[in-house]
Amino acid sequence: MKEQDEIQKAHWNSKPLSIFTAYVWSKNENFAFALPSSDITHDKFVVDAALEIILNHIVTILPNIKVVDCFSDGAASQFKQRFHFRNLVQIANEHNIALSWHFFATSHGKGVVDGIGGTVKRLVWSAILGGGVCRSAEDFIKIAKKKTKKVILIEITKNNIDNSKNKLESIFKTAKSIPETLKMHSVKVVDNNTLEFRYYSSCFQKKTVKY
């Protein structure tokens, strides 16, 4: 799974909305996701809400999924930080999956998730130029769904984010600062309370953190 490394913004009628994009590769099928939201905080709860939506959707299609490897950039506000690391353990336990997260090097260039965001924004913008109206994330999805069937569009609602807050606020109190976080490019959930950090996925040297 290749997570959006920079949550994108689109401005419609001067009202900003964010789009969390992801692309999922599996053995037999691939899936493109664009998750618009009127919440533009881009914080740890929005990220969790987006991941929950994506994983829940994938599980309905691939019920026997056992291993998920995620890739993103090292955006400290969303992914490369102690709260997200703590949440990886929670997600792995909830979905009963082997979960790892890998970070691209800085300035790695644009990727498929950037293309997904750019495509859906362009489709909606062209509809607006043709007289369409987009005042909310819900409007965005309605317009985009008429323009493409290749991207799965689901809104990250306030309720989704509130559910994440209720679930994670107490869990995040146990989050720990990870030494040399910026140098780490690979994180793996080992068991229901342990993470393993490596400088690179193929690196023999590792650090273990227990919660």
For every residue of 59-109, DSSP letters joined together read: HHH-TT--EEEEEE---TTTTSSHHHHHHHHHHHHHHT-EEEEEEPPTT--
Q: What is the pLDDT of residues 87-145, one digit of tens each?
A: 999 999 999 999 999 998 766 656 899 999 999 999 999 998 898 889 899 999 999 99
Quote the pLDDT of residue 50: 98
pTM score, two decimals? 0.89
The residue ranking higher by pLDDT, 2 or 18, is 18
What sign results for the dihedral spanned by CA atoms 54, 57, 58, 63? positive
Q: Which two tokens stand for residue 205?
A: 């040297």
Q: Which two tokens stand for residue 15?
A: 């009202």
- Provide the angle, in degrees to the nearest 10, between the axes of the packed helices 82-95 and 158-172: 100
Q: What is the pLDDT of residues 152-190, one digit of tens each?
A: 999 999 999 999 999 999 999 999 999 999 899 999 999
Q: What is the pLDDT of residues 13-39, one digit of tens each?
A: 457 899 999 999 999 999 999 999 999
Long-range contacts from 119-126, C-beta under 8 angstroms, 24+ separation = 119/148, 119/151, 120/19, 120/34, 120/144, 120/148, 120/151, 120/153, 121/8, 121/10, 121/19, 123/147, 123/148, 124/10, 124/12, 125/10
> What percent of the chain stands above pLDDT 70?
91
